[in-house]
Amino acid sequence: MTVVVPFGLSVRDTALEADVQAGLTAVEEGLLEATKSEMPFITEAAQHLVRAGGKRFRPLLVMLAAQFGDPNEPGIVPAAVVVELTHLATLYHDDVMDEADVRRGVPSANTRWGNSLAVLTGDFLFARASQILADLGPEAVRIQAQAFERLVTGQILETAGPRDGRDPVEHYLDVLGGKTGSLVAVSGRFGAMMSGADEQVVDILTQFGERLGVAFQLADDVLDIASDSQESGKTPGTDLREGIPTLPVLRLRELAARRGREEDRELVALLESDLSDDARHAEALARLRVHPALELAREDTVRYAEDARATLAPLPECAAKAALLELCDAVVHRAG
């Protein structure tokens, strides 16, 4: 019998599915509790993205990693709440930086309440995550703090751009390791660590999370170009409009420099022009969707997902390992 759990993952093990579903249900309850305030307006703003839903990718990884120890240990669900609250907080801030209009199929917080309140709501979520984290012990606090430093550093590096002489693709992949990989790595680490798994298993699932996190973000880059808003839950081509060079654009620039074709150079020039104009933005999006650069970005996504898959090789064969392997396939499928 095949049962379905979040993120399009199917597992042929009903006991595992039951454990994961129970854990994710508890996480959802924990998220709602953590975002409550004595002031109704703060509760409304803080729960805006919680109630909009989402893939719950990071809590799912926490629950699967916990299967390599005792999945009933009390720190597992709070740890999953912490990583998801942290992720949600970054989305509030990201949408302000990107001037995004839509997030998870609903108006972004900055569109609804303005930039200042969106930033402050993100700060509120960080504060609530820290409160929960404090009860998990000093080691958990240290791990989260280091990951958060990497996350912010990745965002700063993206904003600053590559230094002179640095390969833009290598720079961008480093950015993703910080911005996305760091928190997904913590998800794998917390799940294994809180369940009491062996240290070697904790290290393996940390590395797995890092690589899968990068693959996940690369898939998002492809989706930002290839999908419509109903599929992705946000406005397509947001990064293009903001002039953020994601991997498909970087691969296009490489091809333009290497092949020297006029149509490549024209598309690069279009992407580097003012895309605040809707017609110009639509043209750029349409042309990039059929350009070979997008397929190269898909291949990069597959490579990172395969690297994540290979990391799991030393783990014992079990339903949880099979689910993690299928999670690699699910990430690639998103970019397909």
What pLDDT was estimated at residue 239?
A: 81
Using DSSP bridges, classify how beta strands 102-103 and 9-11 pair: parallel, antiparallel or unpaired: unpaired
Q: b/e string for 303-333 if b means 16 or more Cβ within 10 A? A: ebbebbbebbeebeeebbbebbebbbebbbe
193 against 94, higher pLDDT: 193
Cβ burial, residue 270 (10 Å; 0-12/13-18/19+): middle
Six token digits for residue 158: 């993206």
Of 43-52, 139-148, 192-201, 244-253, the one with minimum mean pLDDT is 43-52
**pLDDT tier for residue 2 given thresholds of 50, 70 and 90:** very low
Instruction: Tell me the three state secondary structure of residue 283.
Output: helix
Does residue 230 register a pLDDT over 80? no
* CATH superfamily of domain region 3-334: Farnesyl Diphosphate Synthase (1.10.600.10)
> How far is residue 297 from each of residues 84, 124, 140, 246, 256, measured CA to CA in Å?
27, 35, 35, 9, 15
Six token digits for residue 305: 């997902």
Six token digits for residue 7: 């993120």
State pLDDT tens for residues 145-195: 999 999 999 999 988 889 888 899 999 999 999 999 999 999 999 999 999
**pLDDT tier for residue 233 given thresholds of 50, 70 and 90:** low
Does residue 297 register a pLDDT over 80? yes
331 against 211, higher pLDDT: 211
For residues 234 and 253, give the distance between their C-alpha atoms in angstroms, rounded to a whole number: 25
Instruction: Tell me the three state secondary structure of residue 36.
Output: coil
What pLDDT was estimated at residue 49?
A: 85
Q: Where are the domains of the chain?
A: 3-334
Average pLDDT over residues 132-145: 97
Share of the chain above pLDDT 70, in %: 93
Does residue 63 register a pLDDT over 90? yes
What pLDDT was estimated at residue 231?
A: 55
Instruction: Tell me the three state secondary structure of residue 189.
Output: helix
**R_g over Cα of the chain:** 20
- State the amino acid at position 199 in one-letter form: E
Of 120-134, 248-262, 267-281, 322-336, the one with minimum mean pLDDT is 322-336
For residues 168 and 183, give the distance between their C-alpha atoms in angstroms, rounded to a whole number: 23
What pLDDT was estimated at residue 6?
A: 55
Closest of 304, 310, 313 to residue 335, by C-alpha? 304
What pLDDT was estimated at residue 1?
A: 28
What pLDDT was estimated at residue 240?
A: 86
What pLDDT was estimated at residue 93?
A: 85
For residues 108 and 177, give the distance between their C-alpha atoms in angstroms, rounded to a whole number: 25
> How far is residue 107 from each of residues 118, 132, 252, measured CA to CA in Å?
12, 28, 31
Contact call for residues 60 and 20 (beta carbons, < 8 A) = yes
Mean pLDDT score across all residues of the chain: 90
Average pLDDT over residues 252-269: 92
What pLDDT was estimated at residue 146?
A: 97
For residues 49 and 41, give the distance between their C-alpha atoms in angstroms, rounded to a whole number: 14
For residues 203 and 184, give the distance between their C-alpha atoms in angstroms, rounded to a whole number: 13
Average pLDDT over residues 99-117: 76
Instruction: Tell me the three state secondary structure of residue 106.
Output: strand
**pLDDT tier for residue 4 given thresholds of 50, 70 and 90:** very low
